[in-house]
Structure 1
Amino acid sequence: MKFVFRVDASFEIGSGHTMRCLTLADVLKDRGHDCEFIVREQPGHLIALIEAKGYFVHALPLPESVTATPDEHAHSHWLPGGQQQDSEDTLAVLQPNECDWLVVDHYGVGAPWETLVRKVCRHVLVIDDLADRAHQCDILLDQNMGRRADDYDKLVPQECVRLIGPQYALLRPEFANWREKSLSRRRQRTELRQLLISLGGVDKDNVTGDVLDALEACALSDSVTMTVVLGQQNPWLEKIQQQAASSRFKVTVKQGVSNMAELMSQADVAIGAAGSTSWERCCLGLPTIMLVLAENQKEVARYLTELGAAISVKISSEDSDCLAVKLDKLQDENFLRGLVDVSSRLIDGKGAERVLGRLE
């Protein structure tokens, strides 16, 4: 079958939508299916990355003049030109009857766009996190903790199949492959020696730098080693490298890594954003201090904190001791072990396989 993905990345959108679509595409490709992408050329796009993974990309140029469109929903501005313009551009790319599945992962897209475009596609899968707008689709995937199927009662057709919850989280196979080794290591060692810092693919406000500054003021032993992972789009590499060089800790800075599961498995604690990487960390039982970097991360952070699967913190100049207090809690072996046990029970890393079973 032929699958076409409509997804964007940019300095504002980030990379998470594209990365989870690539995860699903890789699983589909391994099963012999054909996958292509339709991507708008916004600053910070990931077209080169998608092509490097072997997929054909239909690049949509930015409209020459972007007319302001009514605010249909909170993320309408993520779609330059609006849904009408984007649907026309997408239809110009798609060939009638050649698309078995259209996969849409875009907060700027909703039912008006999907109604027009699905005429040339046999089926539509929508990946969403917000439940804030109507969709015209055959399958709706929302992998978020705390989401319920009835949240979409008035937003999708009655016959739409709803895949709801983190059991459908789209994780790369490497996380399932590293899961047992990671959990086994945590059963044997609960000390904080290796800290992993990863705050998303873009981190446009350089929260990573703020975290490094806050860590310098914490009562952590100088023997703790740190690995900072930056996304390929991160514009702060040079500044972060300068901070790492002057740190009292041994800090290694990496950018655009391809072995994230291995790095997570080697870490004792992570400081990370409460986005899609939350599920990767849970799969590996990695105790995490979460930071909310976007509005759509608040619910994930709240549920994981309430369940005892992670702890959250706000980095601010007004509360510079907050991170130190959270790190101090992680010196308690029983508390640390509890985070490992609860988080690892939430995700088994096989979500992409479950979604695949619904598509074939």
Structure 2
Amino acid sequence: MKLLVRADASVEIGMGHRVRCQALIHAFNQFGWQCQFVVDRRYQAFASPEDCFIGGQSEKGFTEKECKVEFLSLAEQADLVILDHYGYSAEDITVLHQHQPNLLVLDDMNDRGDFPAKWLLNPLLQGYSKQIEFPLTGSRYALLRPAFQKLELNQILPQQLLITLGGTDPLTLTLPILNALLASGFPTKDIQVLLGANAKNADQVIGFCHHNSIAVEQGLADVTYLMKQAKMAISAAGGTLFELACMGVPTIFAQVADNQTRSLEQHVPLDWCRSIRFDNVPEEVRQQRIEQLVEVINRCWLDIEWQENARKTARGLVDGDGANRVAKTINSYFAAS
């Protein structure tokens, strides 16, 4: 059985789409599926050589329309297509579904209007039209990497503040947050920085950390051991939100993209996390937000009762088995056909 995954990654797009689709690919591989990413050639620097690249080059450069048209013929040759791409409108998805009815759409915001799909996956509780045959919604379908399955959590209370602003840190928040933490008197020995492999300003952040004796790691394939050591975290609110929930890490989320809005609207009221928004303010206002974030961290760092309740709540939300759950559901459909 052949599975194609249409997803891109870049500094602007982030790495979240690719990471969660990699979790799905790993799960489908266990059922013997042949899986491959289909990637816009513009983003091949963030892809793998094994990926299928689409999109020609004209005098005006690459066009999304070229990619979409080219992908239709590829989709027809597959048994299943997974689409994780905000560049596809409801109309685009409708056309794709006409070429490949066995379509799984990954969604976050539920803001594209109605469109048809065999399956739709959203780790948030959202309502969709009857054009979706099999909706897979809620945190039990959160797509986490294999390392998050069947974890044994530390019995000793962790003591680190984990700072991780996504695969690319698109707003370059890590360094100013570190500066603000140090200015507030937060102990450097309690800070652990985790940078994505493609994080912006990585060299400056690593240099700052070494100069100030702050622990720093970059591009780790398995981040679970750092999350196990985290008493709290400062994090972007993409797919890492569900990873931190699974690990039971109380978190202050820095919202760095609009598509993180719905997840924060659902998770912040559960009181295992807080959030401060950065993506909708001009750069000169971000420093004020950073100082606000550091104030919240310093206050919550001492609130042991809140941390204990937050850990219990978060762990009850995500079990780490979402990718396997999705793959098993869809594979069973094909097995019964």
Counterpart mapping for 1:165-184 below 5 A: 165-178=138-151, 181-182=152-153, 184=154
Equivalent-residue separation in structure 2 for 1:201 and 1:339 (angstroms): 25
What SS does structure 1 have at the residue aligned with 2:328? helix
Residue 208 of structure 1: how far off its partner (Å): 0.8
Match of 1:86 in 2: 67
Q: What CA distance in whole angstroms lies between the structure 2 residues aligned with 1:345 and 1:35? A: 31
Is residue 294 of structure 2 the alignment partner of residue 323 of structure 1? yes
The structure 1 residue matched to 2:157, chosen from 189, 198, 212, is 189
Q: Report the AA paired with residue 107 of structure 1.
A: Y
Q: Does 1:299 align with 2:265?
A: no
- C-alpha distance in 1 between matches for 2:66 and 2:44: 21
Match of 1:113 among 92, 99, 107: 92
C-alpha deviation, 1:358, in angstroms:
2.0
- Amino acid in structure 1 at the alignment position of 2:210: A
Q: Distance in 1 between matches of 2:163 and 2:94?
A: 41
Q: What is the TM-score when the length of structure 2 is the normalising length?
A: 0.88
1:347 match: 318
- 1:118-176 alpha-carbon deviations (Å, 9 max, x no partner): 455351111011212232311111112xx322xx22xx61x521111111001112112
The residue identity in structure 2 corresponding to 1:194 is Q
Residue 148 (structure 1) aligned to one of 109, 114, 126? 126
Structure 1 Cα separation of the partners of residues 157 and 47 of structure 2: 41
Q: Structure 2: which amino acid aligns with 1:132?
A: D
Give runs of aligned pairs for residues 17-28 of structure 1, distance below 5 A: 17-28=17-28
Percent identical across equivalent pairs? 29
8 A Cα contact 2:56 2:66, kept in partner: no
Q: How is 1:190-339 mapped onto 2 (pairs within 5 angstroms)?
A: 193-224=159-190, 226-247=191-212, 250-313=213-276, 316-318=286-288, 320=291, 322-339=293-310
Q: 1:235 to 1:44 in 2, by over 3 A?
A: farther
Name the residue aligned to 2:111. Answer: 132
Distance of 1:252 and 1:289 partners within structure 2: 19
Kindly provide the CA deviation profile for residues 206-230 of structure 1, in whole angstroms up to 9, marking residues without a partner as x: 1111211111112323442x22111
RMSD of aligned Cα (Å): 2.2
The 8 Å contact of residues 230 and 256 in structure 1, kept in 2 or not, is answered as yes
TM-score by length of 1: 0.82
SS in 2 for 1:239: helix
Q: Secondary structure at the match of 1:243?
A: helix
How far the C-alpha of 1:65 sits from its partner, in A, is: 4.5
Once residues 345 and 317 of structure 1 are traced to their aligned partners in structure 2, the CA distance between those partners, rounded to angstroms, is: 34
Q: 1:210 to 1:37 in 2, by over 3 A?
A: same
SS at match of 2:186: coil
TM-superposed deviation, 1:41: 2.0
Contact kept? 2:101, 2:118, Cα under 8 Å: no
**Which ranges of structure 2 fall in alignment gaps of 5 or more residues?**
279-285, 332-337
Q: Is the 8 A contact 1:289 1:326 kept in 2?
A: yes
Distance 2:187 2:14 in 1: 34
Mark the CA change 1:314 to 1:331 in structure 2 (over 3 Å): closer, same or farther: farther
1:64 aligns with 2:58: yes
Q: Is this contact kept in 2: 1:313–1:326, CA < 8 A?
A: no
3-state secondary structure, aligned to 2:221: coil
Q: Counterpart of 2:282?
A: none
Matched residue type, 1:288: T
Q: What amino acid sits opposite 1:215 in the alignment?
A: L
**Structure 1, gaps ≥5 residues long:** 68-79
Shift of 1:20: 0.6
Matched positions, count? 322
Q: What amino acid is aligned across from residue 59 of structure 1 in structure 2?
A: F
Question: What is aligned with 2:334?
Answer: none
Distance in 2, matches of 1:302 and 1:327, equals 23
Find the aligned partners of 2:20 and 2:133 in 1 and give their Cα distance: 21
Distance in 1, Cα, partners of 2:315 & 2:54: 40
State the alpha-carbon separation in 2 of the partners of residues 310 and 200 from structure 1: 17
SS in 1 for 2:51: strand
Aligned partners of 1:66 and 1:114: how far apart in 2?
25
Structure 1 SS opposite 2:117: coil
- Counterpart residue type for residue 64 of structure 1: S
Aligned partner of 1:72 in structure 2 is: none
